[in-house]
């Protein structure tokens, strides 16, 4: 039985107690922290191979078909065994979510926010454990895993406070003789379809934003990271979530996922993943089904082809560090990752030389041993990335890397790869690779650099390294991305400081972690009451 939710009506958004602050990262150079992390890894390793149930309306069940989550560093190692929901599970999940919605939608904002804060407190108390699950299930090193957990905590804390703020919104004008209100009410039942690359933060962020607004959710986690989602679901139960508010349903996208998106009672779909899948979801959601009485809302984040512009007047050492961190952090498996360095001609050769030297210093190996770069997520991803590298060798000059890092054993390791002298319209300049592959492009001047930066169908993140105030002003105006960074890397968006979401084919510019994100999971109802004079 889930614990009773304790309300937080005493929390004031203006008081120090109620202020949001980003979670600090853990310093694993500290021997005590490193020992604690190794112990967490040991404890989690003992739990690998556990089987997890579907949970629909609080009822647990198992299916004939299974999803096996594997450790990408050691694919022979099963992280978790999960049930595979099929099309036949959509209706039971929908009915459970609809039933829960009737009471959850009228639960106070304070109680719903309290659920998120309770969950945050639980995760904070088990932070290293969640880090360890990500090390094993998706191959994150300690720092990348900890950043994911910290972002999860931040989303829960931030959206709880934003929910309280939204509950107190007032109309700009009160007409004489009326009492005018603007109420933000929930949409209904939503599908949450998260990715594997931020398996904790994005999954928990989309889910918590939906439920704190009074919606109920059918959660279909990625088949590459269902165990982390199962652990989060357990946290929600412990935090006091009523049955059916979130329904845990791993399953195939082509069967369970498509049927869920097409169901006439689904009110919204929150998705993060590839452009192809996102557009397919958008298309399916746009077609009204028998019995459907609303236009389904889609909240889509669909990837990028992100550029860092390096100008001759920049701090070169800083630019090299920023490009390497952006391109090869978590092995380039971020929608925000730098996959193109656009370098001004006067410093091009020097930059490429410095870049090669810096990439050669990256330590690759088992993330459980906290190596800088690890494996990619699965065999299919590895094969796709290696195919792009072969294309890149024909489109440019291989500087470093260029193949599979087979010396690390059975894992899905790809060498950090840099290809220079790439044309702006080459395939590896235009297509999302989602791996440790960086294209370096030469530009004559700032004008050409900016034109190249804007020449893809995406518009998620970008960065510019320059000491010129005029160039910075121009980039702020004309570098067409949802998240622009000046003289720093283009990854590492922080909740509250860097609301995240992109333009064009990068998605619907949802701005996760920002002050307007919860509006996507609500609808505004204007109420005007005539005041009777007595």
DSSP notation for 184-210: EEE--EEEEE--SSSTTHHHHHHHHHH
Whether the Cβ atoms of residue 364 and residue 411 lie closer than 8 Å to each other: no
DSSP letter at 516 equals T
* Of 112, 149, 174, nearest in space to 37 by CA: 149
Q: Would residue 301 show up in a list of annotated catalytic residues for this protein?
A: yes
Q: How far apart are CA 419 and CA 426, in angstroms?
A: 12
Instruction: State the maximum Cα–Cα separation within the chain, in Å, rounded to a whole number.
Output: 86
User: Given strand 461-465, what is the order of strands in its sheet?
Assistant: 397-400, 417-420, 437-443, 338-344, 306-310, 461-465, 483-486
Facing residues of 300 across strands?
271
In three-state secondary structure terms, 341 is strand
Question: What are the backbone angles phi and psi of residue 441, rounded to the nearest 5°?
Answer: -120, 135
At 340, which helix (H) or strand (E)?
strand 338-344
Q: Would residue 335 show up in a list of annotated catalytic residues for this protein?
A: yes
Q: How far apart are CA 463 and CA 488, in angstroms?
A: 7
Q: Are strands 54-56 and 59-61 parallel, antiparallel or unpaired?
A: antiparallel
Q: How far apart are CA 374 and CA 135, in angstroms?
A: 10
What's the half-sphere exposure (Cβ side, CA atoms, 13 Å) at 45?
A: 10
Phi-psi region of 507 (alpha: psi -120 to 50; beta: other; left: phi over 0): left
Q: Which of 301, 344, 395, 432 is catalytic?
A: 301
Whether the Cβ atoms of residue 267 and residue 292 lie closer than 8 Å to each other: no
Q: How far apart are CA 462 and CA 451, in angstroms?
A: 13
DSSP notation for 118-180: HHHHHHHHTHHHHHHHHHHHH---HHHHHHHHHHHHHHHHHHHHHHHHHHT---S---TTEEE
Q: Which of 249, 335, 338, 490 is catalytic?
A: 335
At 109, which helix (H) or strand (E)?
helix 109-125
Give the ranges where 213-338 is alpha helix by DSSP (H): 226-239, 258-262, 275-286, 316-328
Whether the Cβ atoms of residue 479 and residue 502 lie closer than 8 Å to each other: no
Q: How far apart are CA 83 and CA 223, in angstroms?
A: 10
* Of 6, 42, 13, nearest in space to 128 by CA: 42
Q: How far apart are CA 299 and CA 271, in angstroms?
A: 6
What's the half-sphere exposure (Cβ side, CA atoms, 13 Å) at 407?
A: 6
Residues with a catalytic annotation lie at 301, 335
């Amino acid at each position: 039985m889930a614990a009773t939710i304790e309300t937080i009506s005493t929390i004031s958004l203006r008081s120090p107690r109620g202020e949001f602050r980003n979670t600090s990262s853990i310093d694993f150079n500290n021997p005590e922290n490193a020992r604690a992390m190794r112990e967490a890894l040991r404890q989690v390793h003992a739990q690998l191979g556990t089987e997890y149930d579907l949970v629909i309306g609080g009822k647990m069940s198992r299916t004939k078909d299974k999803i096996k989550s594997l450790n990408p560093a050691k694919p022979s190692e099963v992280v978790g065994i999960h049930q595979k929901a099929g099309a036949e599970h959509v209706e039971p999940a929908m009915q459970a979510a609809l039933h829960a919605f009737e009471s959850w939608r009228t639960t106070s904002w304070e109680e719903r926010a309290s659920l998120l804060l309770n969950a945050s407190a639980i995760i904070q108390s088990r932070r290293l454990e969640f880090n360890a699950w990500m090390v094993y299930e998706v191959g994150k090193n300690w720092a990348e895993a900890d950043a994911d957990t910290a972002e999860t905590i931040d989303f829960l804390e931030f959206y709880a406070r934003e929910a309280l703020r939204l509950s107190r919104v007032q109309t700009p004008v009160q007409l004489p003789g009326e009492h005018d209100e603007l109420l933000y009410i929930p949409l209904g039942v939503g599908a949450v379809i998260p990715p594997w690359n931020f398996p904790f933060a994005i999954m928990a962020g989309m889910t918590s934003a939906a439920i704190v607004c009074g919606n109920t959710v059918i959660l279909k986690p990625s088949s590459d990271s269902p165990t982390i989602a199962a652990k989060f679901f357990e946290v929600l139960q412990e935090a006091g979530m009523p049955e059916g508010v979130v329904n845990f349903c791993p399953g195939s996208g082509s069967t369970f996922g498509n049927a869920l998106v097409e169901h006439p009672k689904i009110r919204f779909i929150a998705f993060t993943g590839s452009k192809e899948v996102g557009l397919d979801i958008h298309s399916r959601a746009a077609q009204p089904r028998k019995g459907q009485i609303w236009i389904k809302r889609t909240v889509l984040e669909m990837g990028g082809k992100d550029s860092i512009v390096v100008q001759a007047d920049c701090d070169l050492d800083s630019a090299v560090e920023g490009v390497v961190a952006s391109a090869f952090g978590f092995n380039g498996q971020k929608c925000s990752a730098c996959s193109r360095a656009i370098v001004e001609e006067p410093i091009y050769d020097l930059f490429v030389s410095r870049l090669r030297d810096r990439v050669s210093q990256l330590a690759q190996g088992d993330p459980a041993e906290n190596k800088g770069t690890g494996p990619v997520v699965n065999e299919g991803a590895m094969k796709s990335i290696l195919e792009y590298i072969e294309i890149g060798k024909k489109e440019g000059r291989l500087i470093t890397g260029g193949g599979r890092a087979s010396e690390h054993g059975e894992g899905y390791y790809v060498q950090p790869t840099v290809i220079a002298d790439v044309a702006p319209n080459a395939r590896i300049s235009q297509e999302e690779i989602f791996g440790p592959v960086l294209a370096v492009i030469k530009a004559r001047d700032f004008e050409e650099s900016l034109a190249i930066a804007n020449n893809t169908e995406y518009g998620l993140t970008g960065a510019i390294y320059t000491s010129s105030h005029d160039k910075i002003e121009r980039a702020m105006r004309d570098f067409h991305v949802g998240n622009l960074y000046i003289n720093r890397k283009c990854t590492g968006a922080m909740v509250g400081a860097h609301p995240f979401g992109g333009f064009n084919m990068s998605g619907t510019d949802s701005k996760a972690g920002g002050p307007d994100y919860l509006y996507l999971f609500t609808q505004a109802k204007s109420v005007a009451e005539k005041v009777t004079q007595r």
